[in-house]
Structure 1
Amino acid sequence: MLIAMTTTDHDAATPDAAIPDPATPDPATAHAWSAVGGSPELVGQVTYESAGDVLPAVLPVRQMARAMVGACSLAAAELAAARAGGGAGTAVPQVRVAEGAVATAFHSERNLRVDGRAPTNFAPLSGFWRTSDSWVRTHANYPHHRARLLAALGLPDDGSRDDRALADVLAAELATRKAHEVQETVYAAGGLAVALADPAPDAASIPLVEVREAGEDGSRRLSASAPVAAPAEGVRVLDLTRVLAGPVAGRTLALLGADVLRVDAPQLPEDADTYTDTGMGKRSTLLDLGAAGDREVFEELLATADVVLSAYRPGALDRHGLAPEALLERHPDLIVAQLCAWGWTGPWAGRRGFDSLVQVGTGIAAIETADPTGRPGALPAQALDHGTGYLVAAGVLRGLTERQQTRRGRHLRYSLAGTASWLMHGVQPEPPTRDVYDARRWMTACESPYGKLDHALPPVGYAGGPGNWERPVGLWGTDAPAWR
């Protein structure tokens, strides 16, 4: 049975206080918690520490961000109680989330320093460009997307010009074309470009989360009543995700004790800075699912996995026999969490996408218009990615808690467009407090194979929970394809 948990109930009143207390639970947190199937009686366990006007925007980004982290923290606390032999109500530890930690973590890729160097988050050919009739946003951070963008527009790239010089050529070319034409031409060539859209009136119909219980009982459950250092200790997670929401979910599960093994195809290299930010606590291996030997190794990993995270385009892994239905038929106690950009139905369901592009295609960029000239704006962080990542982790943790009783797996579906819809139509704004925010309070440093890292601390917080990852990021693709 597929249960779509939609986000169309927008009747909750704006709270009088900036930070909710147990007597008046935060409406956004209550909604996010309900979306992952949480009991409403537990929402009062969540309170927040204010940091003032963090994540400032036209849309209520601060409220959305803290709600996603609050729901994730509560799910971690609930699983901790379940594994300690407790359950609902007072047995679940109190949750207190600091808005300053949330804001710092939502900027984790921007706050990261590697031996003092700030990473480049967007390449010169990624960004907003004026067209003859509107605006378009491109994404060309990865070499293959860059090459497809230039080829689609007929722009030669013989290596004689660097990307800053090519940016001028790209701008001149795009100024002669219409935005929709650019979008479709680049998409047909396998590249990434999205024309500026106005907010759609029916966008609120996109579900925040969709949940389907497995139809059969499995045999796996986590040890209960035995001492565990973290709620997800002993949980095995296959992380088949790339930039940025899926890796944030995996990073969070690793914080909470899970053995998270990221699996990438050797022919699809990852950006080192991106992986450095999101690889904390994980291990990373390379397997080609199209090669018989590697596929056999993957199936061995899958046989004892608890969770599969997938962020490839809908249907992309089906040819490998890894559709959620097939996975749950073979392993009915798996928690399968899928993430896509544009939602699971409609003409854009199969398209590639990133947070920045979804902001443009859903109308957020039009709402957050940056200046009087009409240049589109952007959220103060990759908030769709980060927010969805914490909600994915929350759904996985809730699925593990439920599996303790039912022994059944669960299929979860999320999309960046669903989070965008909720942000635009379902989260109530509220005035900030006058607290002063200092990001340095929520940063720390560690040594890694990439060098000294100054990085954001995790924002997930509950009484007795971990404050940092036990291990730093390792080198991408260098771990053995085996569980710890």
Structure 2
Amino acid sequence: MTDTAVAWEALGGDPGLVAGVSVTGREGVLVSRLPVRRLARACVGACALAAAELTARRAGLAGVPAVHVDDGAVAAAFVSERHLLVGGRAPVSFAPLSRFWRTRDGWVRTHANYPHHRARLLRALDVSSDSPDAVAAALAERSSLEAEEAVYGAGGLAVASRTREEWAGHAQAAEVGRRALVEWGRTGVWEGDGFRGEVHARVGGGFDGRDGLPLLPAAGLRVLDLTRVIAGPVATRTLALLGADVLRVDAPEPAELADQHADTGFGKRSARLDLRVGGEVFEELLASADVVVTGYRPRALDRFGLSPEALAERRPGLIVAQLSAWGAYGPWGERRGFDSLVQAATGIADTEGDGERPGALPAQALDHGTGYLLAAGVLRAVTERTYGDGQGRVLRLALARTAAWLLADGTTDAPAHETSGAPARETPDPAPWLTERDSPLGRLRYARSPVTFEGGPVDWARPPGRWGQDAARWA
């Protein structure tokens, strides 16, 4: 079974449709000891196939439009943050305190891009300065596990770098291993005419490709985006490409990192809403939402009545997609996490290292791959709800589960000098998959979406606007 077929099976799709996916393979992209290129290709291919499948149903086509996946486009998109230019300026992906550090017995990986995470890291280490030298000295006195527990205990983010064998013996790894790549659950039946009436009433002409307009399978869908960082925003950025009305809603504080928003804000609107006082506004949004995507640590939103179960109860037939780093279960079920930390904990960083220090995948592939899987899951849920049982869905995906899929496939024969943690060589030139446009943020250079199918869109309808500057209402 191909990797795309594995992903498609996890999404509950008809296995016969995988034959409609063609691939242009390219050497020299996403070079890694682990099969990153295959995982990336599979996630994008499954997402494009889910879009094509829904397109066929909505447009009444005789067959599903052909899907083509190009490794060059996939590789460019999986490092979209590196290709981004904002007014000619290249963003900085990681802050100085987000890195690997030597400890008394090994290595620890920290994440301190957000100011509040940096402050918690320093507090946990009892360091008054954010000087890297001071942090290095403090961590050198601790074991990796001591540092991990101390920083997490203070609300920060640090993970001991483990081998694959060490992770396999961890209780969280055991819990992750028991779960499906994409977890599915059904909720209440959509009331009334549901999607066909409520959503189709929002769709103007041109869905069927007439007048040269692209086929947009998500046209008319209203998506509430409650996510941050990469995986969730990549998923909702993809739904926006496919025509969905995506409204990202953030708390007023802390502010999103400007460059991160520029990279993943294409096609969306962005609003700020304090759920402690803006509950009525949120309920108005929820009342006509089709999809809610959450990307905060599990149960973080429960106090606002925003658990998947509570959302589905208030909006029967709703599709809720929940994304987390470690999974919503096990001893780490409520821990924060990011791609780089999951790589460190699961043994990926050790596998990609040079024998002296941990390495990294050539892209934040757990984030990007899971993001495309999540978007695919939403599209498949829409298809099954609308043209099947009429029931809503709850989907759950975790970066750690995607990591388990990557690790289960073994290693490649990539030379060690190509997998030392530095960005992979880029051949062919990524230029064919990059483009430019003006935006409220300035002139942007960015990677196009790799999700393509016959007759589908090739770019987003709108560039990112300024973070939090839109009204908290549907367009």
TM-score (norm 1): 0.89
Residue 466 of structure 2: aligned partner? 475
1:193–1:458 CA distance, 2 compared to 1 (3 A): same
- Alpha-carbon shift at residue 218 of structure 1 (Å): 3.0
Residue 20 of structure 1: aligned partner? none
Q: Deviations over 1:362-396 (max 9, x none)?
A: 11111111x242x0011000000000000000000
Residue 92 of structure 2: aligned partner? 120
Residue 120 of structure 2: aligned partner? 148
Paired residue total:
443
- Alpha-carbon shift at residue 207 of structure 1 (Å): 2.5
Structure with greater helix share of residues: 2
Distance 1:316 1:132 in 2: 33
One-letter code aligned to 1:377: G
Q: Deviations over 1:62-109 (max 9, x none)?
A: 0000100000000000011110124xxx61000001110000000001
- Alpha-carbon shift at residue 323 of structure 1 (Å): 1.1
Residue 385 of structure 2: aligned partner? 403
1:261–1:155 CA distance, 2 compared to 1 (3 A): same
2:146 is matched with which residue: 171, 174, 181?
Answer: 181
Residue 263 of structure 2: aligned partner? 277
Contact 2:188–2:317 at 8 Å: present in 1 too?
no
Contact 1:252–1:390 at 8 Å: present in 2 too?
yes
3-state SS of paired residue (1:214): strand
Contact 1:105–1:457 at 8 Å: present in 2 too?
yes
Matched, 1:421 2:404: yes
Contact 1:84–1:227 at 8 Å: present in 2 too?
no
Residue 135 of structure 2: aligned partner? 170
1:428–1:235 CA distance, 2 compared to 1 (3 A): farther
- Alpha-carbon shift at residue 426 of structure 1 (Å): 4.2
1:70–1:430 CA distance, 2 compared to 1 (3 A): farther
Matched, 1:383 2:365: yes
Within 5 Å, give how 1:45-444 maps onto structure 2. Answer: 45-86=20-61, 91-157=63-129, 163=130, 166-199=131-164, 200-201=167-168, 202=174, 204-219=177-192, 220-222=194-196, 223=200, 227-228=206-207, 229-291=215-277, 294-369=278-353, 371-373=354-356, 375-405=357-387, 406-426=389-409, 436-444=427-435
One-letter code aligned to 1:156: S
Distance 2:410 2:393 in 1: 27
Distance 2:123 2:471 in 1: 37
Distance 1:428 1:218 in 2: 49
Residue 455 of structure 2: aligned partner? 464
Contact 2:97–2:111 at 8 Å: present in 1 too?
yes
One-letter code aligned to 1:253: L
TM-score (norm 2): 0.90
3-state SS of paired residue (2:189): coil
Contact 2:181–2:401 at 8 Å: present in 1 too?
yes
1:404–1:427 CA distance, 2 compared to 1 (3 A): farther
1:29–1:421 CA distance, 2 compared to 1 (3 A): same
Query: Quick one: percent identity of the two aligned structures?
Result: 59
Contact 2:54–2:383 at 8 Å: present in 1 too?
yes
Residue 5 of structure 1: aligned partner? none
Distance 1:282 1:140 in 2: 26
Distance 1:368 1:83 in 2: 44
Q: Deviations over 1:122-176 (max 9, x none)?
A: 000110000010100000000000000001100013xxxxx5xx00111111111
Distance 1:429 1:82 in 2: 39
Contact 1:95–1:462 at 8 Å: present in 2 too?
yes
1:461–1:427 CA distance, 2 compared to 1 (3 A): farther
1:473–1:402 CA distance, 2 compared to 1 (3 A): same
Contact 2:435–2:446 at 8 Å: present in 1 too?
yes
Question: Once superposed, which parts of structure 1, at least 4 consecutive aligned residues long, lie more than 4 Å away?
Answer: 224-227, 426-431
Distance 1:254 1:455 in 2: 16
Q: Deviations over 1:390-447 (max 9, x none)?
A: 000000000111111222110000000010000110478699xxx9511111100011
- Alpha-carbon shift at residue 317 of structure 1 (Å): 1.0
Distance 1:144 1:233 in 2: 37
Distance 2:294 2:319 in 1: 11
